[in-house]
Structure formats: C-alpha cells, structure tokens
Amino acid sequence: MKKIYSVLVENRSGVLCKVAGLFSRRCFNIDSLAVGETDDPTVSCMTIVSNGDERTIEQIEKQLNKKLDVIKVKTFDECNSISRELMLVKVKYNRSNRRDIMENCDIMGAQIVDMSTHMMTIQM
C-alpha cells in the first residue's frame, strides 16, 4: 500500500537529513521525495511517497510526528491523489532540424520552455 505524506517542517539545514535518516534507520523505503519552501520562509513542505503494510505506514506517521523539526504531518491515500511526472530534455538543434523538433513537440504535447541559439529545453 502506498501512502503520501505532506510534512511541514522547519526550514533549517539538516532537517532533510534527519527525516531521511528516520526512514533509513528503520528500513522504510522512500519512493519519492520533494521539498520546497512555503510562503513562510521559516517553513518547508516535504512530500514523501512511501509504501508498506498497514503497520509500517502507521509507524512512519508516528515517527514523523515525534521529530522536533516537524510541525504537521498529513497522510493521503494514493487513490485520493493525482500524481504526475516531469521530464526536461535539452536538445541541440540547427536550422535544418529546428522546425522538425518543434512540430514533434506539438504532436507529442510537449512544451518548449527555453530556447537559445543552438539549444532548446523541452518539457514533457
């Protein structure tokens, strides 16, 4: 069973290491981890995806709540969330293949997010 944890933590150095260490010490697996500062510069939001049986999931939440740097923990089921992946591709181009690359992006639904004289960054 997969669970998604939204964890508000204090925005200080070493907090990410402490949380990752919590998972490592107890042999819990982290499938995905994203961290970003919130609108309050003293608080960061960690989004952690992990899996395990009912007992493991319960233990992860309890251990996260015990950490001093953790402000709040919210748990979400995988079926009640929307997950997306992002891929950024840097492509070198010249005059002869530029139009072909742009047409392929349109066909595939990709977006060109940056373009220089000989390189473009494509988002899919």
- Indicate the pLDDT class of residue 44, thresholds 50, 70 and 90: very high
The side-by-side arrangement of strands in the sheet containing 30-37 is: 30-37, 43-51, 2-10, 70-77
pLDDT > 90 in the chain, percent: 48
Collapsing DSSP states into helix, strand and coil, what is residue 58? helix
Contact 31, 23 (CB under 8 A): no
- For residues 113 and 27, the model is more confident at 113
- Indicate the pLDDT class of residue 77, thresholds 50, 70 and 90: confident
The helix (run of H) or strand (run of E) holding residue 98 is helix 98-108
The hierarchical CATH code for the domain 2-80 is 3.30.70.260
The helix (run of H) or strand (run of E) holding residue 108 is helix 98-108
For the chain, the domains span 2-80, 88-123
Question: Which pLDDT score, from 0 to 100, does residue 85 have?
Answer: 80
What's this model's pTM, rounded to 2 decimal places?
0.69
